[in-house]
């Protein structure tokens, strides 16, 4: 199934190609494309085939990874960090289309693991999604929370970064829906050892540094990824990831005979064998207290729905209460400025441990934001960022 010749886009673009169109693809931050087809703001990407630039669905993840270097404290320029975090995938929500996937959810191993992860009071499972995530050598899956679900607020209505803000704000916990995911490893390499990287990294409640599990073929890790911060370590860290322009159409294509092509706007950048790839399937179910609660969520009744303005209004009121924003400014703030303020205020992913990084900041990415001083700063930092 992962070897679908239609291609797997980068995870930045995969959400835009699921066939699912959120009611609100952005919160008002959209900017028009430049004449050359690029997005002028460093945080914006092209919105599918439209002429707009918007924040990526998981800007909360990418922004943290690029600016801190992630759990492994990587120190590289912006463009290299984007390429490292641009693994490839496909997200699917029609479980009935693939009976083998339904069998995964129905299997006794999944049922036991899922009910062990779901709260004891929420043992009714509601399978809803599966993904394929493939990494080429040099890539990683950045530290993140999985897309959360709320009663009346889901990825079908709002950008996923806004849902992450809702989790971190603790203002909507009465609507939060618990979930469980299994990250299953499909690659046929011998068990990925410490030299190969690609380990499953996660933070428990008391850890300042992540714990790690080897990505062994045909094994799986069960976790509520919407509550537990997790990532993948860099796979094959001895290899430099191919440079991918965020404004181009980048995808990984299976071309037969265990061969894959990485293409950027149709141009082949690199070829790989299946044995070169870190390959996973991720499948998810929600946890409910009763069948009635599950059916209520599925029904999506109008009275349960939250509007975008109601969510932004509640968050803005909290920003005013925290003195992050004046009441006067709250009425006129630009939506891109509001989005970045929400991300900076609420989304608190951990910094690299001091034991690993005496400066918990990826200073090599700073030239991207230095304006006319970009080239000067790049030259000054080059001895540290080679």
User: Residue 354: what pLDDT?
Assistant: 55
SS3 call for 301 = coil
* pTM of structure: 0.88
Q: Is residue 384 part of a domain?
A: no
Q: Is residue 383 part of a domain?
A: no
The count of domains in the chain is 1
| Average predicted confidence (pLDDT) for the chain | 90
Q: Which residues pair with 124 in a beta bridge?
A: 288
> Which of 21-30, 340-349, 352-361 has the least mean pLDDT?
352-361
| Cα→Cα distances 28→162, 187, 218, 248, 347, Å | 12, 40, 43, 23, 20
Q: Is residue 148 part of a domain?
A: yes
Q: Is residue 2 part of a domain?
A: no
Q: Is residue 189 part of a domain?
A: yes
168-215 pLDDT, tens digit per residue, is 999 999 999 999 999 999 988 655 655 678 999 999 877 778 999 999
Mean pLDDT of 316-328: 96
Give the DSSP per-residue string, 303-337.
GGPPPHHHHHHHHHHHHHHTTSS-HHHHTT--HHH
Q: Is residue 3 part of a domain?
A: no
At a CB cut-off of 8 Å and minimum separation 6, what does 238 contact? none
Domain residue limits at 325: 8-293+301-377
With 90 as the cut, is the pLDDT of residue 2 above it? no
Q: Is residue 360 part of a domain?
A: yes
With 60 as the cut, is the pLDDT of residue 90 above it? yes
Whole-number Å distance between alpha carbons of 279 and 188:
9
At a CB cut-off of 8 Å and minimum separation 6, what does 228 contact? 145, 202, 203, 204
Mean pLDDT of 375-383: 86
Mean pLDDT of 41-48: 85
223-260 pLDDT, tens digit per residue, is 999 999 999 999 998 899 999 987 789 999 999 999 99
Q: Which residues pair with 131 in a beta bridge?
A: 91, 282
């Amino acid at each position: 199934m992962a070897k679908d010749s239609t291609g797997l886009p980068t995870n930045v673009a995969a959400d835009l190609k699921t066939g699912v169109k959120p009611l609100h693809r952005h919160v008002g931050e959209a900017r028009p494309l430049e004449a050359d087809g690029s997005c002028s703001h460093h945080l914006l990407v092209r919105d599918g085939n439209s002429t707009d630039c918007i924040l990526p669905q998981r800007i909360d993840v990418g922004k943290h990874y690029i600016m801190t270097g992630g759990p492994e404290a990587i120190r590289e320029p912006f463009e290299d960090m984007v390429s490292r975090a641009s693994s490839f995938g496909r997200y699917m929500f029609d479980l009935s289309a693939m009976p083998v996937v339904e069998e995964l959810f129905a299997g006794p191993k999944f049922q036991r693991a899922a009910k062990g992860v779901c709260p004891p009071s929420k043992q009714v499972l509601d399978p809803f999604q599966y993904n394929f995530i493939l990494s080429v050598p040099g890539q990683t899956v950045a530290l993140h929370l999985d897309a959360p679900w709320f009663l009346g607020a889901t990825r079908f209505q709002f950008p996923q970064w806004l849902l992450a803000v809702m989790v971190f704000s603790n203002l909507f916990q009465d609507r939060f829906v618990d979930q469980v995911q299994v990250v299953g490893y499909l690659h046929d390499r011998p068990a990925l050892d410490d030299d190969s990287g690609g380990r499953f990294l996660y933070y428990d409640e008391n850890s300042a540094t992540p714990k790690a599990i080897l990505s062994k073929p045909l094994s799986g890790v069960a976790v509520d990824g919407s509550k537990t911060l997790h990532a993948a370590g860099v796979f094959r860290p001895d290899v430099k990831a191919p440079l991918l322009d965020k404004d181009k159409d980048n995808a990984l294509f299976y071309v037969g005979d265990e061969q894959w092509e990485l293409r950027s706007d149709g141009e082949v950048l690199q070829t790989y064998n299946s044995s070169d790839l870190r390959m996973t399937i991720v499948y998810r179910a929600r946890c409910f207290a009763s069948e009635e609660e599950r059916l209520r969520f599925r029904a999506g009744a109008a009275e349960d729905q939250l509007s975008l303005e109601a969510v932004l209004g509640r968050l803005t009121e909290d920003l005013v209460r925290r003195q992050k924003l004046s009441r006067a400014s709250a009425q006129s703030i630009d939506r891109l400025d509001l989005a970045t303020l929400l991300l900076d205020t609420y989304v608190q992913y951990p910094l690299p441990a001091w034991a690993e990084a005496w400066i918990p900041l990826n200073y090599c990415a700073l030239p991207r934001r230095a304006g006319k001083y970009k080239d000067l700063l790049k030259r000054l930092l080059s001895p540290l960022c080679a």
